[in-house]
Amino acid sequence: MRRSSLSPFWLVLLLITFLLTGCKKPPPPNQTAAPEVSALLPGLVASAPAPASAIAPAASAPAADRPSFLWKIDGTPPSWLLGTIHVPDPRVSDLPSSITQALASADMVLTEIPMDSASQLSMAPLLMLPKGKTLKSVLPEALYRRLERAFLAKGFPLEPLSSLKVWAMAAHVVLLDRMLVLATQKPLDAWLYEQAQSSGKKVGALETPQEQVAAFDGMSTAEQIHMLDKTLEQREENGKEGKDPIETLLVAWLSGSEEKMNATILDEYDPKDPIDKKMMKRLLLDRNEVMAERIAAKLKASPGQSMLFAVGTAHLVGVDSVVAKLQRRGVKVARAGAAP
């Protein structure tokens, strides 16, 4: 039996976790969405304000000595590159002082995509199948039944999700065990964006929602079905072995170790598998190039401003990372704070 850990299927879906969990809007008039449903479907989700403790970092002293995926970009003043994780967790909220200090010093915060309410609401239609199509009509019957059983086992009906694109459904499968948490808590990216706004800082983004979704829409229906099938298969294996791949990713992020994070990301990646290779290129490597180009351009256009660029940590580790690509462009970037 293969190892149950983070394959590229888990990786690429976790990269867009905050996209899926951020698309919240009230249900249609005269329709009340159950809490379980509100955790699942952008477009049917009920607005539910998160508790203050879920939005802000823990009130206790920050984990000052914990290493972070923070890089300093040389300049006067310096700018910052922060590797985030798109899954909310109390351990993530307990930010090291290196991150809080970088945030405080920045004039502008830029995330992968805009995190304001209007932009988030505009994403929901991008995740839906064309009118007249449903998952039941697109998926093989056996796969649809497996999917339905997985959701019912967690107490969630599948019907409210019937209009989601296949790749978006695969993302929900990855997040199935954490749906209620995701419905009431905000990931680090969203918190940073809101903190910047409330502090009067400028905010921005490196990509548009359309660009990010296009990376997934570029896969054929057959490839998306393959992704969903493998994601379900891995979920079933993890269940039998008591493994939690998202916890594995969280532990790697909390370690601050580039080596550990990169190993977690590449675990089970098969460069000889054409779908694995295509997914890695479209969803990670190609986007790394775009991000590096846009970061370099923004730094050049505003030399007197301190910017904090917050993107998923997967984009910042490895030989073809955003960090490496910036360095090749002559931008001086170095790890900040303690690092293993």
Query: Considering only 3-17, 38-52, 200-214, which range has the smallest mean pLDDT?
Result: 38-52
For residues 225 and 180, the model is more confident at 225
Residue 157: strand pairing partners: none
| Residue 117 pLDDT | 79
pLDDT 10s digits, 172-216: 898 888 888 877 788 899 999 999 999 999 999 999 989 989 988
CA angle 194, 245, 192 (to 5 degrees): 10
| Residue 39 pLDDT | 36
Cα separation, 107 vs 76, in Å, equals 12
Q: Dihedrals φ, ψ of 310, to 5°?
A: -115, 110
- Cα within 13 Å of Cα(231), Cβ side: 27
Cα separation, 21 vs 316, in Å, equals 22
| Residue 19 pLDDT | 56
Q: Which residues 6+ apart lie within 8 Å of 43 measured at CB? A: 23, 25, 124, 125, 127, 128
Which whole number is the average pLDDT over 269-294? 89
Q: Which tokens in the block code for residue 119?
A: 């932009």
pLDDT at 231 over 60: yes
Cα separation, 320 vs 317, in Å, equals 8
Which whole number is the average pLDDT over 138-164? 94
Domain edges within the chain: 8-335
DSSP-based helix, strand, coil % in the chain, nearest 5: 55, 10, 40
Which whole number is the average pLDDT over 254-279? 85
| Residue 2 pLDDT | 45
Which whole number is the average pLDDT over 130-147? 97
Which whole number is the average pLDDT over 45-53? 36
Which pTM does this prediction carry? 0.85
Cα separation, 224 vs 165, in Å, equals 9
pLDDT at 94 over 70: yes
Q: Which tokens in the block code for residue 135?
A: 């998952």
Cα separation, 107 vs 182, in Å, equals 29
pLDDT 10s digits, 209-218: 899 899 889 8
Cα separation, 292 vs 206, in Å, equals 9
3-state secondary structure of 70: strand
Which whole number is the average pLDDT over 94-103? 94
Which whole number is the average pLDDT over 268-289? 86
